[in-house]
């Protein structure tokens, strides 16, 4: 894949289809950008939005914030948690006033040295405020790049951070870095979502290696997630006439080299209602005509360091959608010779008991 292919598609999407609204979007004041980024470090956008507006109203400039009493700022911060962020905010505001004469530093090297500001926040301020060519790497960007290039290096590992930093810089539009950075973060938040990405309407789905391999629901990989004690696996057994979709596990994870059905892994239990199923299948795979044949009972398998929970859902298709046409479809008879994890075999046995 040529990097420019995705970059141009992304900017086209941003210009014509990106409807995500946030009060700091398009902002050029480095103080306001910095404030929004610090608030959002451990906070959802919906919650951070209100706090951001209150802070801007109360402390419209870095000079106002630096002059504020600690107690007043902490009171305004109340409810956001992770109070070290607030302490660093005050420390850095006063440093900017004292050392930089109330003018926010304008180079990446100076910005990243400020207390409470790491490489991601520094790249965001440098690109959004000063249009400097630094690529942002937040959770949204890690996810988009991991799926786009089917990279299973853990994003929270040293090797992963280095690999993704190089890739993000390669893809960055050096002429319009602020535009590009905003676009890719919004793309990850609205299209390439953590759970159930809307692949069927993704403008880059033909370039996406994870979509081609059917592994978008297993990426990105995180070392911390792999060490979690509880994981939820939901397997969709897609059948068209005598053919069933299967997939060989190739990522560095449990059950490597064993076969499985179409997997959706989530961090919490999902109640697959009829409406939820229909929405998910339409959004991710553009499947609109199907019949739910059976659900397995809830499954559970205890491994050495983690417990796998979930179930199997058997679905008959009226036709194979374009999104699944190049996948591995095998006859129901030949599947018996494939090696599946115990979790799946147990689910199949229980499902067969219900249908006998």
| Catalytic residue set | 37
Alpha helices in the chain (DSSP H): 3-16, 30-40, 45-58, 62-67, 70-77, 84-99, 108-111, 119-130, 139-148, 158-171, 177-190, 209-213, 223-226, 274-285, 342-355
Say which residues have a Cβ less than 8 Å from residue 344's Cβ, sequence separation at least 6.
Answer: 235, 260, 261, 312
Give the whole-angstrom CA distance, residue 36 versus residue 55.
10
Give the whole-angstrom CA distance, residue 312 versus residue 297.
8
353 three-class SS: helix
Q: Which of 252, 264, 254, 147 is nearest to 195 (CA)?
A: 264
- Dihedral angle sign, alpha carbons of residues 250, 251, 256, 261: negative
Give the whole-angstrom CA distance, residue 352 versus residue 154.
37
Give the whole-angstrom CA distance, residue 183 versus residue 319.
35
Give the whole-angstrom CA distance, residue 208 versus residue 147.
7
Tokens describing residue 337: 């010779």
179 three-class SS: helix
Give the whole-angstrom CA distance, residue 165 versus residue 274.
41
Q: Which of 326, 251, 9, 252 is nearest to 144 (CA)?
A: 9
Q: Is the peptide bond before 220 cis (omega within 30 degrees of 0)?
A: yes
Ramachandran area for residue 199 (φ above 0: left; ψ -120 to 50: alpha; else beta): alpha
């Amino acid at each position: 894949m040529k990097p420019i292919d995705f970059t141009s598609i992304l900017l086209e999407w941003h210009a014509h289809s990106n409807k995500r609204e946030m009060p700091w979007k398009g902002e050029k004041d480095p103080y306001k950008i910095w404030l929004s980024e610090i608030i959002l470090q451990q906070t959802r956008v919906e919650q951070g939005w209100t706090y951001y507006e209150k802070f801007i109203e109360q402390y419209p400039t870095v000079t106002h914030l630096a002059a504020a009493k600690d107690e007043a700022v902490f009171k305004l911060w109340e409810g956001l948690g992770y109070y070290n962020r607030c302490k660093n905010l005050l420390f850095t505001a006063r440093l900017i006033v004292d050392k930089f004469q109330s003018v926010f530093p304008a180079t990446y090297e100076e910005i990243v040295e400020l207390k409470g500001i790491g490489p991601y926040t520094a790249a965001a301020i440098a690109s959004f405020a000063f249009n400097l060519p630094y690529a942002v790497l937040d959770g949204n960007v890690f996810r988009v790049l991991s799926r786009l290039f089917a990279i299973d290096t853990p994003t929270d590992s040293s090797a992963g951070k280095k690999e993704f930093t190089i890739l993000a810089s390669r893809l960055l539009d050096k002429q319009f870095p602020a535009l590009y950075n905003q676009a890719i973060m919004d793309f990850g938040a609205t299209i390439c979502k953590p759970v159930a990405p809307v692949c069927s309407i993704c403008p880059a789905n033909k370039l996406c290696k994870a979509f081609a391999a059917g592994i978008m629901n297993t990426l990105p990989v995180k070392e911390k997630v792999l060490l979690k004690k509880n994981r939820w696996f939901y397997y969709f057994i897609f059948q068209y006439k005598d053919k069933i979709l299967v997939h060989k596990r190739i990522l560095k994870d449990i059950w490597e080299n064993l076969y499985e059905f179409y997997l959706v892994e989530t961090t919490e239990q999902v109640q697959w209602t009829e409406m939820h199923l229909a929405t998910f299948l339409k959004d991710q795979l553009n499947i609109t005509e199907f019949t739910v044949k059976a659900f397995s009972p809830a499954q559970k398998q205890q491994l050495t360091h983690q417990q796998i929970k979930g179930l199997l859902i058997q679905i008959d298709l009226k036709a194979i959608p374009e999104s699944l046409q190049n996948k591995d479809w095998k006859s129901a008879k030949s599947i018996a010779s494939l090696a599946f994890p115990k979790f799946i075999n147990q689910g199949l046995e229980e499902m067969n008991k219900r249908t006998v």
